[in-house]
A and B are shown apart, each in its own frame.
Chain A
C-alpha cells in the first residue's frame, strides 16, 4: 500500500522546511521526509551553532581589549564545554521550533531515508528498516550537501575534523591546521584563534576567501596575519599522517617547496559535495553535474515531477539561497507568478573577525562582463562609530556601472558588516542608481555611514576622506 500526498519534500533543512511550509500555505497536502533532525545542517551543524560559538570568540577578543575601556580583571576562566553546550542548546531550541511550525501548518513529518524509487514515488526506510511507499505528483529534493573529503585525507572524527567535530570540541587543540579558506574555513580559523589555538590556514588557490573581491581577500589576509594566524596560499597538502597523537603534515607550495609541520587537529573545509548518492537518481536518469543535481530556472530536474533546491542543486551553497528556491519552486508549481533567482542577488556572509559580507559582482567579475566601472572605497578608520567601539579595521567597496549608475556589487569587511549588507541588497533588487543611494540619509553615528561614503567615493564625492 502506498500513501498519497500532493507534494513531498525530502530534507528538513532551511530549503526543505521552508518549501514545505509554503506548500502547505498554498493548500498542498504536504509531507516532509527527514532522516536526522529537522533544521538540517544549517540549524544543527552549520550556520546557527557556529554563530553561537563565534559569540564566545568575540567575548574572548573583547576581554583582551577591555583595558582600552578602563577595565581590568584577574583570573578570567574559560570553560569550553559551556560554550559548546550553549551552541548545542541553541540548535536544539531551533529544531523544536521547526517541529512546531510543521505541526502548525499540518505538514506530515516522515522519519526515515528516502529514495526516489520511481517517477513521482518515494520509498522511505525508517529506523526499524521498514519500507513505506509514498506517491506525489511533485517531489522536491532538498537533501543538502556535506563537507567534501580530500583524496588521502579521511575524516576520522578524532584528528581529522569535519564541521560537526569542529563544532563540538572537548578540548582546544593547541595547534590547528585548517584546510580551505572559504567562509567555513575562515570562520573556524577565526574562532579557534580567538579561543587560543595556534592556527594555520592552507589554501590551494592564490588567495584566501577566493569567492570574494580580491581587495577584500587581501584585507582579510592582512587582518588574520596581524592576529597571528599563519596563512599559506597557493599551497596544497602533500601528505598527512597521524602519528603518536599528532598529525604530521607536509605542505607543498606552487614552487614545489615542501613544508613539514605538526598539528594536534586538522579541520577540512575544502568545499562541499551535494548529497546526491543513494537517492535513486542514477537509476531514473536524473541529470547531475559535478556532484550536484542539474535544474532549470524554476528548480525542475529533467525527471517529471522531480525538483531540487538548495545545496544539492548547486552553488551558491547558502541557507538563504535554499529557502528562496524553496518558495520559488513551490510557487511555480502552484502556478503563481515567480521570477528565477539571480545568483548575483544572493548575499554572502562570513562571520569571522573581521566580518566579511558581499552582494553582486566583484570588481574583476564586473570588468570581465564588459562594464565600465566606477569604484568607491571607504575605510572604517574614518568612521566615528567604528573608532568609538574600538573596531575600525576594514572598509566598504562599491562597484557601479559607469553608464547606468547601477550598483553592480558591494563588498564589506569590518565590524558588523553582515548585518548591514542587506541595505545594498535591497538597493540592487530595486535597481537603484547612485542618485537614490546618495539621496538617502544614513543615521549618525553608525557604521552604515561608511556605506554611504563608499557610494559617494565612487563619484569622487566622499566627505570624510
Chain B
C-alpha cells in the first residue's frame, strides 16, 4: 500500500462519542488541502465541530456525504500526498472498508479489523484547534502586542506559539520580519515550512504550500487551477508569489501534462456518488445524543433516589449581602448550589466519580455539569474545579457559559466530562422532580423551586424558604448510605453557608 495515501477518518471526540454526522466538506474532490486547513464539519454531540487536516495533499475521494452518519474510525475520504493512481486509491478504500462502513448499511464494530488501514499511515486527521507545536524556549515573555512586526510575522508567531520578544528583528525599520521568525524557530530546534524563493518546477513531492508567501489572489487562483505554490516563481515584492507567477506555472505544467486530469476526477466522483443517501427523517445530532445517552443510562444504571428538604433562609440572606457588596456579581441560588455540591463532593468523593463499565474513576476535584435548556435540547456546561473557585468566579463563569451555550458557541471541553450534574427546574415553579444520571457520572441532583412552606420547628409551626433536592444515584457505584451522607453534607453547607468557607 502506498505510504502517501492517507485516510480521513471519523475522529473520536470524547469518550462518549461513537459516531458522527457529516455536515459539510470545506473542499471538493481535486482540491489541494494544506495541513491545518478546516476539512469537514462533523456534527457530533452537541455542537458542530470541524476536522482539521494534519497533513497536506490532494483530496482525491469523498466517501461520506453530508447528512450521513458514520462510526468513529470510519473512512470519510482519501487524501493523497503527491501522486497515486486511481487503482491504488481503490485498493486503499477497499482494504479500509472491511472495518469501516456507513452505519446505516452495516453495523460493523468500529474497532480495527484485520486490515486496520486508516491506522497504518498514522492518523492524518484529528480534532484539534491547537497551534502548531510551540517551541517552549520562544514562547515565554510578556505581552508582545507592542513589538514591531510585520503582519505576516505576527501571524506566523501565533501559529508557532512564539513570543515576538524572543525574535531578533532585522527587517526594515527594525521590524520583526517573517524571515526573522523562521530563523528563530529553526535556531531553537523547531521546524518551519520555508520557501526558498527560487522556482521549483514540477516538484509534486512538496504539496504543503501554506508556508509559501503569496498574495491572496495568487493563493486563490492556485487553488482553483490546482497549482502548487512551490511550483511557482516568486517575483512579487518581499519574495511573494503573485498571480502572474501562478498563471505561468499553470501554463508550463499543463503543457508538460503534470496537472491532475480534471475529466478523470469528474468521472471518479460520479462513481462515488452511487453510495446510498439516507433520506429518512433523522434526529439532530444533539437530540440523538440526548436520546442515546439517557436511554443507555436509564437502562444500564440502576437508579435510586434520595430526597431531602433544605431551608434556604440563611443562604438567601448571605446571597443578598454578597450581591449588595459586589457590583461585579449577581450570585444566584444555583451558583450557591454548585459551590455547595462541590464542597460536599470533596468530602464524599465516592459520589464524585465517572464509570466506564469496568472501573470507577474517583476525582479529587469536582467538575460540576450544569444542565442548561437551549433551543430544542439541553447542554451541560461544566464548572471545573468548582470546589476551588469562589462564588463570584462560579457565578460569572456560569453567566458566560450559559450565554455561549444558547449561541451554540461552547467548546467541546467546556461541556464534555464532568464528575457530577445539577439540573434545576426551580425557575419553572416545579416543587421537585427526578433526573436521569448523565453518564459516565454516578449521580445527579434535581433542584426544585425554593418556596415558602410550613415547617415545624421545636414543635412550633413556622414559615421557611425551603427547596427539595432529589439525588439520583447509580446503585452499582453508590449505596444508599453514601447518598444520604452526601445529601446531609449538602444540606449542612446550604443551611449554614459560612461553613463553605472552611
Contacts and interface: CB of A to CB of B under 8 A. Distances in A.
Interface in A360-418: 401, 403-406
Interface string B394-414: 001001101110111100000
Interface string A301-344: 01111000000000000000000000000000111100000000
A439 B148 CA distance: 21
Given A27-B406, A137-B399, 5 more contacts: A26-B407, A284-B327, A286-B327, A333-B403, A406-B148
14 contacts: A6-B406, A27-B406, A28-B406, A29-B406, A284-B327, A302-B328, A335-B404, A403-B173, A404-B148, A404-B173, A404-B174, A406-B148, A430-B151, A435-B172
B168 interface: no
Interface in B148-191: 148, 150-151, 172-175
B403 A119 contact: no
Contacts of B457: none
Contacts of A29: 406
Interface string A419-432: 00000000000110
A435 B177 CA distance: 15
A88 interface: no
A27 B407 contact: yes
Contacts of B328: 302-304
Interface in A118-152: 119-120, 137-138
B237 interface: yes
A401 B173 CA distance: 9
Interface in B303-336: 323, 326-330
A438 to B, nearest CB: 12
Interface string A209-247: 000000000000000000000000000000000000000
Given A304-B329, A335-B409, A439-B237, A404 B175 contact: yes
A335 B327 contact: no
Contacts of B150: 431
Nearest to B331: A304
A334 B173 contact: no
A26 B407 CA distance: 7
B382 to A, nearest CB: 15
A137 B397 CA distance: 12
Contacts of A333: 403
Contacts of A302: 327-328
Contacts of A404: 148, 173-175
A403 B396 contact: no
A159 B116 CA distance: 89
Nearest to A138: B403
Contact of B151 (A137, A304, A431): A431
A60 B169 CA distance: 56
A304 B396 contact: yes
Interface string B401-444: 01110111100000000000000000000000000000000000
Interface residues of B, number: 24
B323 A119 contact: yes
A305 B175 CA distance: 40
A285 interface: yes
B153 to A, nearest CB: 11
B340 to A, nearest CB: 21
9 interchain residue pairs of minimum CB distance: A404-B173, A119-B330, A27-B407, A405-B173, A335-B404, A304-B330, A285-B327, A303-B327, A302-B327
Contacts of A27: 406-408
A439 B175 CA distance: 19
A345 interface: no
A105 interface: no
Interface residues of A, number: 30
A168 interface: no
A288 interface: no
A194 B150 CA distance: 47
Contacts of B407: 26-28, 334-335
Contacts of A111: none
A197 interface: no
Contacts of A334: 403-404, 407, 409
A108 interface: no
A280 to B, nearest CB: 12
Nearest to B398: A137
A305 B399 contact: yes
A443 B83 CA distance: 47
B327 A120 contact: no
Contacts of A431: 150-151
B148 to A, nearest CB: 5
A137 B172 CA distance: 48
B171 to A, nearest CB: 10
A138 B400 CA distance: 10
Contacts of B327: 284-286, 302-304
Contacts of B173: 401, 403-406, 433
Contacts of A433: 172-173, 175
A6 B327 CA distance: 20
Nearest to B395: A304
A345 to B, nearest CB: 14
B281 to A, nearest CB: 24
A336 B404 CA distance: 10
A138 B396 CA distance: 12
B33 to A, nearest CB: 24
B174 A137 contact: no
A431 B148 CA distance: 9
Nearest to A26: B407
A430 B328 CA distance: 36
A20 to B, nearest CB: 15
Interface string B192-231: 0000000000000000000000000000000000000000
Contacts of A335: 400, 403-404, 407, 409
A405 B329 contact: no
B339 to A, nearest CB: 17
Contacts of B400: 335
A304 B325 CA distance: 12
A386 B304 CA distance: 86
Contacts of A120: 330
B399 A403 contact: no
Contacts of B409: 334-336
Nearest to B406: A6
Interface in B365-407: 396, 399-400, 402-404, 406-407
A15 to B, nearest CB: 20
A333 B409 CA distance: 11
Contacts of A304: 326-330, 396, 399
Instruction: Determine which residue in B151, B172, B327 has the highest number of CB atoms from chain A within 10 A of its CB, and name it.
Output: B327
A6 B374 CA distance: 12
Contacts of B323: 119
A334 B408 CA distance: 10
A392 B122 CA distance: 69
A435 B174 CA distance: 14
Nearest to B150: A431
Nearest to B402: A137
A52 B402 CA distance: 45
A433 B237 CA distance: 14
A119 B322 CA distance: 13
Contacts of B330: 119-120, 304-305
Nearest to A333: B403
Nearest to A432: B151
A6 B150 CA distance: 40
A22 to B, nearest CB: 12
Interface string A94-125: 00000000000000000000000001100000
A8 to B, nearest CB: 13
Interface string B75-111: 0000000000000000000000000000000000000
Contact of B403 (A6, A403, A435): A6
Given A303-B327, A405-B173, A439-B237, A137 B403 contact: yes
Instruction: Determine which residue in A286, A303, A304, A433 has the highest number of CB atoms from chain B within 10 A of its CB, and name it.
Output: A304
Nearest to A403: B173
A431 B155 CA distance: 13
